Structures are given as C-alpha cells and as structure tokens.
Chains A and B, each alone.
Chain A
Amino acid sequence: KNQVEQSPQSLIILEGKNCTLQCNYTVSPFSNLRWYKQDTGRGPVSLTIMTFSENTKSNGRYTATLDADTKQSSLHITASQLSDSASYICVVSAGNSGGSNYKLTFGKGTLLTVNP
C-alpha cells in the first residue's frame, strides 16, 4: 500500500529561525514528489515539485531535497517568517506522468507555527 509519512506532526519555532520538515514515502512506481503549503482555511498551494532525477529544488526561502534511494524528502525553511505558519503537506505521485499522474498519496502534514 502506498504511504507517505511526515514528521514532526507539529512544530513551533521563533521567527527568524530555520527548520526542516521530513517526509518518508513508500510509493511505487515513483513519479514525482511535491510539497504544498496550506494556510488555515485555504486550499494547498504548490511550493516545489521534484522528479526522480532531481535531488534539490528551491523556491525562495524554501528548499526541498529528495533522496530516491532512501525514499526520503525534506523541506528546509530558512529565516522563518510569521507568514510561514501553515500546514506543509508532502504529496507523492505514482505511475508515469502521462498515465496515472492523478494517483496521489498525501501525507497528513506538518503544522508549523512561527512565533514572534
């Protein structure tokens, strides 16, 4: 069964600090991995997307890494801001991009709170 596990479930940090969120997956065959940010009461918004051949992808202060051998990904947030407070969801796609790309497995998310 395809699964995506995220850790920690929740995290509280002070503004300006860095943090790293983890994602482990058992999805086969692997197609790509995305990190989404979801503000409270809003829909998720994509931060990064990585395929098998990519091991790092940045989007501003967000840097995602992927280790396809160990089936792990991380999302590193640098110099956190109050607006980073949100749920971060790891999503893994199985199959090839032209076929079952819609078969996504979602993690349950990490709730990040950034305090002043």
Chain B
Amino acid sequence: DVKVTQSSRYLVKRTGEKVFLECVQDMDHENMFWYRQDPGLGLRLIYFSYDVKMKEKGDIPEGYSVSREKKERFSLILESASTNQTSMYLCASSWTGTGEQYFGPGTRLTVT
C-alpha cells in the first residue's frame, strides 16, 4: 500500500512564527504536492515538485515556500505565519504516468 505521512495532525502556531510541515512518501513517486483545503473552496494547489530540488508554483503560492532535498520528502514552509493561513494542509504524491495522487492524512494548522 502507498503510504503518505505528514509530520503532525494538529498544529497551533502564533502569528509571525516560521512553520515547517513535513511530508514523506514511501512509494518512490516522482511527484509531490501541497494543497490547502478550506470550507467552501475545496482543495487548492500551493506548490508541487516533479523531481528532487525541482518545484513549481501552484494556484496560491503566496506566503509559502517548499523544499525537496530527497525524493521521498517534501516540506512546506510558512516563512511568517498569518491568521489567514489557518487551514487544513494536505500532502499528496503520484507517479508520472497514472497521475493518481495519494493523499496524506492532513495537518490542521491554526495560527493565532
């Protein structure tokens, strides 16, 4: 079974803090993704990576950065957390070809 894990299920941070969200997949997938999910808005793509050290902006990259130093690990960084970044963050991974994305359990981030 494909397994995508995220470092935390719940996280509470203060405004202005630097926040790291970690994602690890164990299926040697080329592609990895970070989404945020908000009520009424569905899933929105923040960033994705199609190879180690490669990244591309998604639909809402502002206020976020990412890092992919190893194939199995993809990190999302909030340089200076703000209250409007309170959300559910979902990581996903996929092979190139089938396109099917496998999701992690999500991290519910609250910024106060």
Instruction: Indicate whether A108 reaches chain B with its CB closer than 8 angstroms.
Output: yes
- Considering only CB atoms and an 8 Å cut-off, how many residues of chain A contact the other chain? 22
Smallest CB-CB separation from B88: which chain A residue? Answer: A41
CB pair B94 A101 closer than 8 Å: yes
- A116 contacts the other chain (CB 8 A): no
User: Is A55 positioned at the interface, with any CB of B under 8 Å from its CB?
Assistant: no
- Complex contact A106–B42 (CB within 8 A): yes
Q: Are A108 and B40 in contact (CB under 8 A)?
A: yes
Taking residues whose C-beta sits less than 8 angstroms from the other chain, chain B's interface range is 20 to 34
Nearest A residue (CB) for B107: A43
**B100 and A34 within 8 A (CB):** yes
From B31, B42, B103, A102 is in contact (CB under 8 Å) with B31
Chain A residue nearest to B102 in the complex (CB): A46
A97→B97 contact, CB < 8 A: yes
| CA A111 to CA B88, docked complex, whole Å | 17
Measured in the bound complex, the distance between the Cα atoms of B92 and A36 in whole Å is 13
The interface residues of chain B, by DSSP majority, are classed as: strand
Q: Tell me which residues from 19 to 62 in chain A have a Cβ below 8 Å from any Cβ of chain B.
A: 31-32, 34, 36, 41-46, 49
Cross-chain contact of A45 among B50, B103, B108 (Cβ < 8 A): B103
A interface, CB within 8 angstroms of B:
31-32, 34, 36, 41-46, 49, 89, 93, 97-98, 101-102, 104, 106-109
Contact B100 A102 (CB under 8 A): no
Closest residue on chain A to residue B90 by CB atoms: A43
Which residues does chain A contribute within 8 Å of B45, judged by CB atoms? 104
Nearest residue (CB) in A for B6 is A43
- B97 partner residues in chain A, CB cutoff 8 A: 97-98, 101
CA distance A46 to B90 in the complex (A): 14
User: In the complex, which of the residues A36, A41, A44, A108 has the most CB atoms of chain B within 10 Å of its own CB atom?
Assistant: A44
